[in-house]
């Protein structure tokens, strides 16, 4: 089965899983929202009737025991309502945490390393489920459960080894484990794992300013890079202004630096582009009353993945 067919099958099955998950969580969220709304209405109505309840005379046919039973039941009902509210709130928080951890998470792009494919300030949604890795407990035999791995050409969000904080980078996967990446005269050549010949990549996602201008930093002497097992070679689409695998994501002179990013540090694949609008900028909505996009949303119509047909010929 070809890479394109595997990718197509993976995409279709992923979409089915996401649609089912989305429907389930939407129904759950709707039911919880209705309960919270009912609880808020109940509290509001009881607040207005509070004094009326306090001063209501005790019916003549009720003795002290009946009154105590009535008050006890009333307190239990109130307490039950409060407990249900916090239970539903906990469920909502748990759903949000699960979704952000294993399914999808929002990000905002900061920087121009992916121009002209993606722009500074754009809001994006990252699909984490397609690259999900779950470490099963040590007492089981499952080991690491993987949903899928990055594919050559994918635009991914990663944590570079050079970042000591929680900084994330957005780059494109160029070399997979076992591939050899070569740079020559501003072009990128790739020798796929198991093949013998290098093939020049046709990178149609590059702008005219970057096409044929992929160079290595002055302090990097190697021109060929064999990607180790469990590692990936990534680059930004703005080759003239991107800290990526070529420069070890910062500087190759730093101790422990490497040209590669480990599989564990790849968070997810870019899924949706929501664009960017600055409502506070001059001439924006505050001044004109009109909603003007700095970058209009493109949703799924972005170069978030790329297939290199020239590699199939080799």
User: Which residues are CB-neighbours of 25 under 8 A, at least 6 positions away?
Assistant: 95, 99
Residue 81's pLDDT is what? 84
Which alpha helices (DSSP H) does 49-63 contain, by range?
50-55
Residue 77's pLDDT is what? 82
Q: What is the mean pLDDT of residues 30-43?
A: 56
Residue 43's pLDDT is what? 52
| 75 lies in the same domain as 152 | no
Instruction: Kindly report whether the peptide bond that precedes residue 205 is cis, defined as omega within 30 degrees of 0.
Output: no
| 289 lies in the same domain as 162 | yes
Give the tens place of pLDDT for each residue, 210-222. Answer: 999 999 999 999 9
What pTM was computed for the model?
0.72
Q: Which domain holds residue 77?
A: 3-103
- Lowest mean pLDDT across 3-7, 134-138, 153-157, 309-313: 3-7
Residue 75's pLDDT is what? 72
Q: What is the mean pLDDT of residues 165-176?
A: 91
Number of domains in the chain: 2
| 288 lies in the same domain as 187 | yes
| 180 lies in the same domain as 43 | no
How far apart, in whole angstroms, are the C-alpha atoms of residue 175 and residue 191? 9
Question: Where is pLDDT greater, at 248 or 12?
Answer: 248
| 129 lies in the same domain as 77 | no
Looking at 68, 87, 103, which one is the last position of a domain? Answer: 103
Mind telling me the catalytic residues?
113, 171
Q: Is the pLDDT of residue 270 over 80?
A: yes
Strand duo 224-226 + 231-235: pairing: unpaired
| 166 lies in the same domain as 236 | yes
Q: What is the mean pLDDT of residues 287-294?
A: 69
Q: What is the mean pLDDT of residues 172-181?
A: 98
| 58 lies in the same domain as 124 | no
| 121 lies in the same domain as 240 | yes
Residue 36's pLDDT is what? 57
| 154 lies in the same domain as 95 | no
Q: Looking at residue 263, what DSSP letter applies?
A: G
Looking at 69, 103, 137, which one is the last position of a domain? Answer: 103
CATH code of the domain covering residue 213: 2.10.109.10
How far apart, in whole angstroms, are the C-alpha atoms of residue 194 and residue 179? 8
Residue 295's pLDDT is what? 94
Question: Quick one: pLDDT band at residue 237, thresholds 50, 70, 90?
Answer: very high
| 302 lies in the same domain as 156 | yes
| 139 lies in the same domain as 285 | yes
Q: What is the mean pLDDT of residues 25-30?
A: 57
Q: What share of the chain is helix, strand, coil (3-state, %, to 5)?
A: 35, 20, 45
Give the tens place of pLDDT for each residue, 54-108. Answer: 444 545 554 556 656 656 776 768 788 888 888 888 988 888 888 888 899 999 9
Whether the CB-CB separation of 192 and 177 falls below 8 Å is answered with: no
Residue 39's pLDDT is what? 52
How far apart, in whole angstroms, are the C-alpha atoms of residue 226 and residue 193? 9
Residue 3's pLDDT is what? 42
| 239 lies in the same domain as 93 | no
Q: What is the mean pLDDT of residues 284-308?
A: 82
Looking at 88, 103, 118, which one is the last position of a domain? Answer: 103
């Amino acid at each position: 089965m070809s890479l394109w067919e595997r990718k197509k099958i993976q995409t279709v099955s992923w979409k089915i899983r996401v649609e089912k998950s989305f429907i389930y969580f939407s129904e759950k969220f709707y039911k919880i929202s209705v309960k919270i709304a009912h609880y808020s209405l109940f509290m509001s109505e009881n607040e207005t009737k509070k004094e009326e309840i306090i001063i209501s005379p005790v019916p003549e046919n009720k003795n002290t025991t009946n009154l105590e039973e009535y008050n006890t039941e009333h307190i239990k009902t109130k307490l039950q309502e409060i407990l249900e509210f916090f239970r539903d709130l906990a469920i909502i928080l748990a759903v949000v945490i699960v979704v952000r951890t294993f399914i999808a998470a929002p990000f905002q792009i900061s920087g121009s390393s992916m121009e002209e494919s993606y722009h500074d300030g754009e809001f994006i949604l990252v699909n984490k489920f397609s690259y999900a890795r779950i470490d099963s407990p040590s007492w089981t035999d499952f080991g690491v459960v993987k949903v899928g791995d990055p594919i050559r050409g994918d635009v991914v969000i990663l944590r570079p080894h050079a970042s000591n904080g929680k900084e994330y980078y957005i780059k494109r996967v160029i070399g997979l484990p076992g591939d050899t990446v070569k740079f020559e005269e501003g072009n990128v050549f790739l020798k796929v794992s198991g093949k013998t010949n290098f093939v020049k990549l046709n990178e149609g996602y590059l702008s005219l300013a970057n096409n044929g201008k992929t160079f290595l930093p002055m302090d990097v002497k190697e021109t060929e890079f064999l990607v180790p097992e469990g590692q990936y070679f990534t680059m930004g689409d703005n080759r003239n202004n991107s800290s990526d695998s070529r420069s070890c994501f910062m500087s190759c002179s730093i101790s422990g630096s490497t040209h590669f990013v480990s599989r564990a540090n790849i968070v997810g694949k870019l899924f949706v582009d929501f664009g960017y609008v600055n409502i506070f900028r001059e001439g924006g909505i505050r001044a004109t009353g009109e909603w003007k996009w700095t970058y209009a949303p493109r949703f799924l119509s972005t170069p978030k993945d790329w297939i290199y047909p020239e590699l199939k010929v080799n």
